[in-house]
Amino acid sequence: MKALSSSEMLEIWDMGRVQSPVERALILMAAAYPGESMDSLAALSIGQRDSCLLTLREMIFGQDMDCLIACPSCGDSLELDFKVEDIRKELVSKKNEVLSLGASGYDVQFRLPNSEDLIAISDGSEMDEMRHRLLWRCIMSALWNGEVVPANDLPAGLLDAVVSEMAQADPQADVRLELLCPSCGVKWRAVFDVVSFLWSEIDALARRTLREVHILASAYGWTEADILELSPWRRQCYKDMVED
């Protein structure tokens, strides 16, 4: 994984502004892993991808993370402070690993969902339908007493077992925060989405950087490229002198 320069961060932000979260994740991954093909990155499981994005987030912004979240009961805002390591899970699965499950005469082989799958099912369908289509895409073969069974004909209980196996094999794909509202006392588990979280930080950083470019270009006549070659600390020093 390579560090990203200020100019690369702005290019990523510009490219991803009108893209979906999945496509934004792939844009970030492609920039951080220039030696990997987009197909290879898209084939990573969601947990493997998110683990890489957490590492990238740490390289850009450091270990400390903070955000605001609304209580689902009373609506009050909670300020959360945690570290990257607090939400990092151990990687269990390997890239392109085929998993299997046997139960009640069934023998199912499946793989973990990846970014290609998420893009393929994101066509505006109902959430339940998208979940089923995602699962069916990941089932590579299914037999019942040696006979081939279509994925959409498998019993619900078996599909639930497959989902459970997926969750155990790819824990980084579903990170939950245990929360307690100090105002009303309600407890709940909130999903942490590293893609949305990181992109919101990149958006804020890009806008601050553009503001610095505007101020310094107006004051000194420098080009954007010249300004972005300066370290963030030096840009801030020049900006402070302009605003004094």
Show the tokens assigned to 49. 């991808």
- Are residues 165 and 214 both part of a single domain? no
* Residue 18 domain boundaries: 6-66+193-243
pTM for the whole thing? Answer: 0.91
Answer yes or no: are the C-beta atoms of 209 and 13 closer than 8 Å: no
Residue 29 resides in a domain: yes
Residue 43 resides in a domain: yes
Residue 26 resides in a domain: yes
- Per-residue pLDDT, 136: 93
- Are residues 109 and 165 both part of a single domain? yes
Reply yes or no on whether the pLDDT at 124 is more than 80.
Answer: no
Q: What is the pLDDT of residues 199-241, one digit of tens each?
A: 999 999 999 999 999 999 999 999 999 999 999 999 999 999 9
- Are residues 152 and 112 both part of a single domain? yes
What's the number of domains the chain is made of? 2
CB < 8 Å & 24+ apart, contacts of 176-179: 177/80, 177/82, 177/87, 179/69, 179/78, 179/80
Residue 50 resides in a domain: yes
Residue 218 resides in a domain: yes
Backbone dihedral region of 108: left (phi > 0), alpha (psi from -120 to 50 degrees) or beta? Answer: beta
- Are residues 22 and 59 both part of a single domain? yes
Answer yes or no: are the C-beta atoms of 108 and 142 closer than 8 Å: yes
Residue 152 resides in a domain: yes
